[in-house]
Structures are given as C-alpha cells and as structure tokens.
C-alpha cells in the first residue's frame, strides 16, 4: 500500500513538472504614458494609458510592469519620463533601465473630427518595432476606452471576448522595423531618416523611401 502511495506521489509530481515546463514564459512589458498629439489633456491620456495596461494584464499574454513600480525604478536611476520620450530609441533606453523585454509606446490625437491611435510594440534587445496597432475613430472621447481594450488584445494576438460596440478603422502591422541610430528600416532596406541629414547638406533631412504599411 505504501509502495503504491509513493508511486502515486511520484507520478503526480512528474505531471506537475511537465505542466510547468509546458507553460510558456510570459514576456515582461512596460507601457509608457501615451503622448497626446492634440485634443486630449495629460489627465485623459493618463487614463487611457492606465486602461490599456489593465486590459493588457487581462489578456494574460504579458507580464506587465505597473506604472507605480516603473516610476519607482526610474526614480532610483534619476530618470524622469517626459513627453519627449516617445520615440523607439527612448523606449529602448527606458526598457533597459526597467529590465523588461518589450515596451509599448505611442500617441493619441485628433485630426478634425477623427481620433487617431498609433501604438507600437518594441523589442528591447534588438531595438526592433515588432508590431504596430493603429485605429481611427469618430465619436465621443469615451469610445477611446473601448479602443484601448481592443488594441490590447490585438497586441496579445488573442480574440477580444468583449469586442467594442463602437465602429472604428483599425490596422495591424507585424513587419519588423529596425531602429538603428535614428533610422527606421523595414523589408528589403527601404528607410527614412528620423533625424539625419543628406550627405553634404548637414542638418537637412532627406527621404530615402518611406515604406507603405503592408495590406493585410
């Protein structure tokens, strides 16, 4: 009887071990405060950023660093996030300080009567923009809360169990963008200078060829 009991315990422990091995390790991710490019106050963008973090946690696809924890770590390193820290390069710098694997940053604005949402997922190790999610929406500002929830699930690659009741234009891009020295490169090498200049004309930005977002 004791032998059978011991065997049962061993089998149970082996089963638990197998389940633990099968469970994929979640990527650690932090979300910067979204930047308003028009039509939103800092308080409103903060609310939308918080909603996005909360919904990202609900997807169970990421290990999300809380805003308070993120701010505490950055404060220890005497680093203050500003509105200017909205580029991929700055996100990589912040991600390295936080010790996370990925960062999500972006901006929300308004053009005429249309709200625009542009968010991107950045790999900290490589500096690649590995995914972007965008949306255009006409309606009350409250509808942006539902859009934040929906985009969180899109980043996770999971079907939203509670899709938004509002209608909005959406576009996803999973093409890898390489951010190297202020230059974004995609596909076969087409790129555009984010802050550089043409050869022989110091300080004059030049377009090499801006790639169009791939149609899905």
The C-alpha atoms of residue 119 and residue 130 are separated, in whole angstroms, by: 11
Per the listing, tokens 């005429």 go with: 112
Within 8 A by CB and 6+ apart from 191, the residues are: 183, 184, 185, 208, 209
Length of the chain: 216
The C-alpha atoms of residue 60 and residue 57 are separated, in whole angstroms, by: 6
CA 39, 44, 50, 54 dihedral sign is: negative
- Taking only the tens place, the pLDDT of each residue in 169-200 is 887 776 444 444 444 444 434 333 333 333 44
Mean pLDDT by 10 residues, the chain (216 residues): 48 47 81 94 95 97 95 90 78 94 96 96 95 96 96 96 90 56 44 37 38 44
173 and 214 in contact (C-beta within 8 Å)? yes
What is the pLDDT at residue 22? 57
Query: What six digits make up the tokens of 151?
Result: 């985009």
* Rg, C-alpha atoms of the chain: 21
């Amino acid at each position: 009887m004791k032998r059978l009991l011991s065997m049962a315990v061993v089998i149970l422990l082996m089963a638990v071990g197998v389940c633990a091995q099968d469970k994929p390790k979640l990527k650690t991710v932090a979300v910067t405060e979204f930047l308003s490019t028009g039509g939103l106050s800092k308080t409103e963008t903060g609310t939308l950023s918080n909603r996005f973090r909360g919904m990202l946690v609900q997807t169970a696809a990421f290990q999300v660093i809380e805003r308070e924890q993120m701010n505490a770590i950055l404060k220890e390193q005497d680093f203050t996030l500003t509105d200017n820290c909205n580029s991929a390069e700055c996100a990589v710098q912040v991600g390295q300080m936080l010790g996370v694997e990925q960062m999500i940053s972006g901006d929300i604005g308004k053009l005429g009567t249309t709200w625009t949402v542009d968010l991107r997922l950045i790999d900290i190790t490589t500096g690649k923009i590995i995914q972007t999610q965008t949306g255009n929406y006409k309606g009350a500002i409250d509808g942006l809360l539902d859009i934040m929830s929906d985009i969180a699930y899109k980043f996770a690659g999971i079907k939203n169990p509670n899709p938004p009741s509002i209608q909005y234009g959406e576009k996803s891009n999973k093409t890898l963008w390489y951010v190297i020295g202020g230059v974004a490169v995609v596909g076969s090498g087409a790129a555009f200078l984010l802050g550089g200049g043409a050869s022989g004309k110091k300080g004059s930005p030049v377009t090499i060829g801006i790639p169009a977002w791939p149609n899905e």
